[in-house]
Amino acid sequence: MTAFQKFVEMPITGREESFAPANFAAKILRTEPGNEQERRRLNWVTHFALGAMWGSAFGVAGRAGLHGQKAVAAVFAVVYTGDVLLNTALGLYQPSSWSTRDLAVDVIDKLVQAEATGAIFDRIGQPGSGDG
C-alpha cells in the first residue's frame, strides 16, 4: 500500500504523507515519538505490522477455503471495517466528516493493499498449491 500511495495516489491527489499509522500506534502503546524522525520510524514500523496483519487475515481466509477474489472481498470487508471502527472508537478517525474524495482515497488505498496481499498470498502463501 505504501508504494502505491507514494508513487501513484499521492502524486495524483496531491495529498501529503499520512501519519495515521503512527497516531494509531502511539495511542495503543501510550507513547509519543520524541521527534519527527521517531514519528516517521513509528509510522513505517506500524505500516509494516499492519501489512503483516493483512497477511494473517489472508491466512485465516485460506484456512476457511477462500482464495482469489472471494478472499480479497472477505478480508477487505472485515479488516477495513475493523480499521475504521477501531480508529473511530479511539478518536483518531471521524468518518462522518470525510469528503467523498477522502473516503474514496481511503477505500482505494486499502483495496489496493488487499488485492496485492491476496495476489501474493495466493501465489506463495499456500504451500503445495502450485499455481495458487
Rg, Å, the chain Cα set: 16
> What confidence tens digit (pLDDT) does each residue in 32-78 have?
999 999 999 999 999 899 989 999 999 999 999 999 999 999 999 99
Show the cell assigned to 89.
472508537
All three cell numbers of 62, joined, read 485460506
Q: What is the pLDDT of residue 8?
A: 92
Which residue bears the cell 501474493?
A: 120
Arithmetic mean of pLDDT, 4-23:
92
Separation between Cα atoms, residue 125 and residue 67, nearest integer Å: 11
Confidence (pTM): 0.84
- Measured from the Cβ of residue 17, the count of other Cβ atoms closer than 10 Å reads 11
